[in-house]
Amino acid sequence: MDNETLKKCLEGRLVGLEGAERRFINETSVAFLLKHLGLPAEFVPLACEYFSLAPKLNVIWLHLAECTGCSESLLRSEQPCLAEFIFDFFSLNYHETLMSANGTKAEECLEEAMKEEFALIVEGAVAPIDTFYLSIGAEGKSGYELLQSIADKAKVIFAAGTCSSYGGIQAAYPNPTKTCGISQVLSQKVVQIPGCPPSDVNIIATLAFYALFGTSPELDDKNRPKWSYGKCLHDMCERKAKFESGIFAQNFDDEAAKNGACLFKLGCKGPYTYNNCPKVKFNAKTSWPVAAGHGCIACSEENFWDDFGFYEKPMTNAFAYARVSREEAFVLENKNLNLNTLKESVKEDELIFYLKEKMQILVEDRELLDFSFESNLKCALANLAKNKLGFNLLENYKKNFPKHYAFIEANFDENSKISSDIWEFFELSYILAKGEFLKDRALLIEMAKNYAFNHASPYDFKLSAKEDSVKLDLNKSLRMTLIYLCGGLEIEGIAFSLLSALAKSLGEIRQDYMEKRLILSVDESLNQPFLHQILS
Ligand code: FSX
Ligand code: SF4
Ligand code: F3S
């Protein structure tokens, strides 16, 4: 819904509330919540009016398998503070760790609260198979049974925390209790607010949006509110300039760490995490993990305990808990086409990705792709060093990899060379990582295949659509290889990330031509499962 529609919606909901008993609402808290939700200041008086007059939203908070960290996060809220939250904004009518009632009395409270329309917030994972792993209350009902019966009557359901969203720590390998996120067992839609724990702001503002508009804020494909989980945390981090400069803390207590160096080498998973922690912070906006000196452990991402390896090391194979297998058969149709006759070979219903000595994309007999980059490594590095961050990055690379740099100095001249061969771009990364030429392109694919992790490191491939063509710009992407090398990622991770970035870009182009048959023209040895992503 756009702002105009939201405004009309709120005005409509205010009609009929005239004359209702007014309660005090702290305008600063309302303004704070709306600001985070991305709503303009003109909404504040309307929202205050609504909260002052409308009946408070009846909230039931259920605890399943978890550590109560989500509730702890909520307790430390400042705007609104907990007292405002429960007395002015919402009616928190059932919350096992906050309510004074217990035993049968608590169960009566739950039944009472369920007599009226209510919003359900669930903290914790559910054990739907061996349901005895979690028994709650005077009658010893299973968490699964409770969840089903309460969810059936709820007007809206929120999963607060990574446990209720995805299973969390209980569901980590080997998951002895066979727990999972609640959306896996409920047929109703669940608005997910992950994080272990999520910030108080993400919980309260999402709930406030629902109270005001009777619907959830815009959600992404994992049903997370876009306002809070729409951006990569790393892009908002106060240490990002250090990341770009290749300045990494080597130990938690070294001088660099104290001076704000990036924590990537100490395991920060910020580049793989979508959450707004640097903005909303925790404990009444006091701090957030990276500001406190520990890298982000991707606590709001699915399977974060298993998928991101050791939390104090980057995702290099030595620190993986499990190895991803990439052995499935390749399904893309591969035609061994010739560059000279390429255009004539394209049929009307085909989209051809030609990935050999030149990267081309053909639809009908039209060339779709505009792609070229500086392929003389010495010139590419000189271009990079033109800005301050790039200059620092190159200096740090020279310091950390002197032999590799000497190899580049000795083997490249000063003459710019523009290329549109994607494999040549990958080879440049190999040279940077290994200080030698890549003898066989298949080796790079093999390395990517052997990477133990599922998550690619971002590479900044810039895809932009022009009238009848698309432009793929990788000129700024080579810096990522230098950053990751200085940050402790190995060639396997770099190779996998490069190929994934290519697959992602091709996949985006593919989106516009879904009705066409996809043909790939690539050497057989390079025809590997990583390109499966193109089809997804
Ligand atoms: Fe703990 Fe909540 Fe983590 Fe889980 O937060 S902080 S284990 S997300 O459900 O209590
Ligand atoms: Fe910040 Fe971590 Fe990104 Fe470094 S890697 S900039 S510490 S989020
Ligand atoms: Fe979690 Fe990372 Fe934020 S560890 S709290 S998502 S900084």
Residue 281 is predicted with a pLDDT of: 97
Asked whether the beta carbons of 28 and 80 are under 8 A apart, the reply is no
Q: Determine the Cα–Cα distance for residues 487 and 458; give it in Å rounded to an integer.
A: 13
Q: Under DSSP, is residue 91 helix (H, G, I), strand (E, B) or coil?
A: strand
Residue 437 is predicted with a pLDDT of: 98
Asked whether the beta carbons of 171 and 125 are under 8 A apart, the reply is yes
Asked whether the beta carbons of 47 and 210 are under 8 A apart, the reply is no
Residue 526 is predicted with a pLDDT of: 76
295 lines ligand 2 (CB under 6 A): yes
Residue 331 is predicted with a pLDDT of: 55
Q: Determine the Cα–Cα distance for residues 477 and 462; give it in Å rounded to an integer.
A: 9
Tens of pLDDT, residues 304-344: 999 999 999 999 999 998 878 776 555 567 777 787 777 88
Residue 117 is predicted with a pLDDT of: 97
Tens of pLDDT, residues 374-411: 999 999 999 999 999 999 999 999 999 999 999 999 99
Model confidence, pTM: 0.95
Tens of pLDDT, residues 170-189: 999 999 999 999 999 999 99
Tens of pLDDT, residues 425-461: 999 999 999 999 999 999 998 899 899 999 999 999 9
Residues having CB within 6 Å of any atom of ligand 1 = 66-70, 123-124, 161-163, 168-169, 196-197
Q: How sure is the predictor about 535, in pLDDT bands with cuts at 50, 70 and 90?
A: low
Asked whether the beta carbons of 46 and 10 are under 8 A apart, the reply is yes
Q: Which two tokens stand for residue 1?
A: 């819904």
261 lines ligand 2 (CB under 6 A): no
Pairing of strands 369-371, 469-473: parallel
Ligand 2 pocket mutation, candidates 264, 455, 460, criterion most atoms within 8 A of CB: 264
Residue 375 is predicted with a pLDDT of: 97
Tens of pLDDT, residues 476-496: 999 999 999 999 999 999 999
Residue 45 has pLDDT above 60, yes or no: yes
Tens of pLDDT, residues 51-109: 999 999 999 999 999 999 999 999 999 999 999 999 999 999 999 999 999 889 999 99
Asked whether the beta carbons of 13 and 54 are under 8 A apart, the reply is yes
What secondary structure does DSSP assign to 295-364, as a single string? Answer: ----TTSTTHHHHT--TTS-S-GGG-SS-----PPP-SEE----GGGHHHH--TTEEEEEESSSEEEEET
CA 294–ligand 2 middle distance (angstroms): 10
**Cβ contacts of 30-33, under 8 Å, gap ≥ 24:** 32/79, 33/79, 33/80, 33/201, 33/204, 33/205, 33/208
What average pLDDT does this structure show over 130-138?
90
